[in-house]
Amino acid sequence: MTAQASTTPISGSLHLPSLVMARVCTTAIFMTYPACLNALLVEWQMTATRAGIVQGVFTAAFALSLLVSSFLCDRIGAKRVFSVSTLLSAAAALLFAAFARSFETAIVFMALMGLAQGGTYTPAIMLVSANTPQARKASAIGWVLAGMSAGYVISIFLSTALLALSGYETAFFATAAITVFGWLLGQIAVRRARELLADAGPGVGTFDRAMKNRSRLLTLGYIGHCWELFGAWAWIPAFLAATLLSAEAVSPIELGLWTALALHVSGFFASFLSGYAADRFGARRVLIAFALLGAVCSLSIGWIGDFGVVLMLAATAVYGFATIGDSSVLSSAMTDAVPPEQLGRVLGLRSVLGVGAGALSPAVFGLALDLSPAALGWGIAFSTLAAGAAVAIVCAALLRH
């Protein structure tokens, strides 16, 4: 027997430009730790495995937060969850900046940041879905995810520049301060947004049925996507720093600028371009193309450390484009595959499985790097990420459209 869920429409509209800018500011803290990682390995006396664990703790907490916040969206509404979470994200980022000074304290405060950040992601997707015409939904979600990529650019460039000029503590505080603006912009964005509030959730049987067929393939594809994406994001800055700085090819500030541009500006374009492509050509074709490109990058980028600055940055740009491009398509396709009153919990389960896999991949990468011979380490470590791309390829190929 299916439990019925009534919905209550709330009139108004979402201010999409403010929401995009809120995501820019809220995610300005995301890449601060990876951008400072080479210095933190020395300052905090960490092995590569420990460094991967810190990033993995953040990602695991983020996954848990995604699950809880997604279920809350079905109960109290995405707008309220998003508003509270942006405030908590700003507070957690400031606490991280003030108190993270070792491996042990970093675990605690990275976990707090992850727990706060989850509520700014899924609710934003749900609000866009509820406030955007069907023909433009993938494009709109793409813009929100593109805003996240822009935040990563700011995070890497500002962190690397301040690390060179003043130390990692200043980098932590500067990027944390930007999240406060994210909270303010978020309130403006959702003030008049409409959403559908579920008065009663479905039973377990209904939830199981919602995850079958297309939604199940999209979930498995998302797991593979997150394995590759989070591993690449955690380690690309350190990889470029280890290879380019050791060769004295660029200065630390130049490295921060070029890393940000190569990895996340390309991701910015990928997010909204993939959304437009999915609206026009269908999700299946776009997902297969991005997953194939990501697999090629994971299997090759770790072996080109001696091939010069231009080739490495070009390869990083392609990698950034490939690994993030399918994210908006996976999200918009899921909003179409699941009834609105079940969307929060389905996105929550998808998120905890996908981001949970993403929490493991940086640690697996670090372990592979520690155990491999020095000359082969980066190539072998990056190749572990290709497993996620392979899963994404198979799942996309099995979709009907």
What is the number of residues in the chain?
Answer: 401
- CA–CA gap between residue 340 and residue 112 (Å, rounded): 30
pLDDT class for 212, splitting at 50, 70, 90?
low
Structure tokens at 45: 């006396």
Q: Strand, helix or coil at 197? A: strand
How high does pLDDT run on average in the chain? 84
Q: Under 8 Å CB-to-CB from 116, ≥6 apart: which residues?
A: 65, 85, 88, 89, 91, 92, 93
Show me where the domains of the chain are located.
8-398
Average pLDDT over residues 11-37: 87
Of 91 and 202, which is predicted with more confidence?
91
pLDDT tens digit sequence for 289-317: 999 999 999 999 999 877 778 888 899 99
May I ask the CATH architecture of the domain 8-398? Up-down Bundle (1.20)
The runs of H, that is alpha helices, within 166-249 are: 168-190, 204-210, 214-240
pLDDT at 7 over 50: no
DSSP per-residue letters across 153-179: HHHHHHHHHHHHHT-HHHHHHHHHHHH
- CA–CA gap between residue 401 and residue 394 (Å, rounded): 14
Q: Is the Cβ–Cβ distance between 25 and 182 less than 8 Å?
A: yes
- CA–CA gap between residue 316 and residue 297 (Å, rounded): 8
Highest mean pLDDT among 171-185, 227-241, 258-272: 171-185
Query: What does the pLDDT read at residue 246?
Result: 64
pLDDT class for 196, splitting at 50, 70, 90?
low
| 156 closest CA partner among 139, 174, 136 | 174
- Within a 10 A sphere around the Cβ of 307, how many other Cβ atoms? 12
Of 243 and 227, which is predicted with more confidence?
227
Task: Give the β-pairing of 7-9 and 196-198.
Answer: antiparallel
pLDDT tens digit sequence for 339-391: 777 777 788 888 888 878 888 898 899 899 999 898 899 999 999 999 999 99
Least-confidence region, from 5-14, 85-94, 189-198: 5-14
Average pLDDT over residues 70-79: 85
